[in-house]
Amino acid sequence: MLIPNVSEMSENVNVNDLNVNVNVESLQETLNLRLRANVFVDYQSAEESLKVSLWEHLNEICKIKHTVSNTYHPIDYILTSKLNEKKLYLELKSRSAEHERFSEFLIGSSKLKNIQKNNLVPCILIWSFNKPNKRYLEFSESNNIYFIQYTTEMLKLPVKQLNGSGVVYIPKNDCDTSFERLIIFIKNYFDCEC
């Protein structure tokens, strides 16, 4: 099988247009993710970019399902251990701003309620920050993401109105930071010794 040289592709290549036949579904996904990891990632595809970054670090220990097919789903990713079907849910909030500007991160109060209502726990809430005018997200950068594990205590935080919607502010100091630490957290959750 011939694998295209991604470095020779133009920035506007649609990976789904590549004519690559693989008999095994997991091999097709592997190839697609490797190609997407090296092709221009627009800011609008932050969720897909995170999926690729997660896959690069976690594909040995868990399956990653992106819930993109349902716009109103309360979470963005479902990670399932390959050893024991243990699940971890992730919700990504992307911002095109300097993270230094914020002392709190917001999330919709209805999102928190839906996480609880649908029993999507444990769930990690992730905020990623892309510098304005930067063309793509780099989840491997150590200082552009913050994360915290959802708890029912978040439902007790004050709800404030922002543009007609209820939001909850999560203190930045309560969050952990860096993509590397997120990967460590996930591996520890899945009891991975890798």
pLDDT at 181 over 60: yes
Residue 6 lies inside a defined structural domain of this protein: no
- CATH code, 178: 3.40.1350.10
Residue 8 lies inside a defined structural domain of this protein: no
Q: What are phi and psi of 15, to 5 degrees?
A: -60, -30
Residue 60 lies inside a defined structural domain of this protein: yes
Residue 12 lies inside a defined structural domain of this protein: no
Which distant-in-sequence residues (6+ apart) come within 8 Å of 113 by Cβ? Answer: 155
On the CB side of 11, how many CA atoms lie within 13 Å of its CA?
5
Are 165 and 63 in contact by the 8 Å Cβ rule? The answer is no
Instruction: Give the number of residues written for the chain.
Output: 194
Residue 3 lies inside a defined structural domain of this protein: no
pLDDT digits (tens, 9 = 90+) for 25-47: 544 444 444 444 433 333 346 77
Tell me what the mean pLDDT of segment 124-140 comes to. 70
Residue 59 lies inside a defined structural domain of this protein: yes
* Unique residue bearing structure tokens 């109060």: 109
**Structural domain of residue 84, as residue ranges?**
23-189
Residue 11's pLDDT band, with cuts at 50, 70 and 90, is: very low
Where is pLDDT greater, at 12 or 189? 189
Where is pLDDT greater, at 110 or 32? 110
* Both tokens assigned to 100: 């230094």
Please give the pLDDT value at position 72: 72
Residue 97's pLDDT band, with cuts at 50, 70 and 90, is: confident
Angle, vertex CA 132, rays to CA 172 and CA 161, nearest 5: 50
Does residue 143 come out as left (phi exceeding 0), alpha (psi in the -120 to 50 range) or beta? alpha
Q: How far apart are CA 147 and CA 41, in angstroms?
A: 22
Tell me what the mean pLDDT of segment 52-80 comes to. 86
Q: How far apart are CA 46 and CA 148, in angstroms?
A: 19
Q: How far apart are CA 6 and CA 8, in angstroms?
A: 5
Are 87 and 78 in contact by the 8 Å Cβ rule? The answer is yes
Residue 32 lies inside a defined structural domain of this protein: yes
Angle, vertex CA 95, rays to CA 89 and CA 98, nearest 5: 125
Hey, which of 10-19, 113-122, 131-140 has the most confident mean pLDDT?
A: 113-122
Tell me what the mean pLDDT of segment 110-127 comes to. 96
Radius of gyration of the chain (CA): 18
Please tell me the total count of domains within the chain: 1
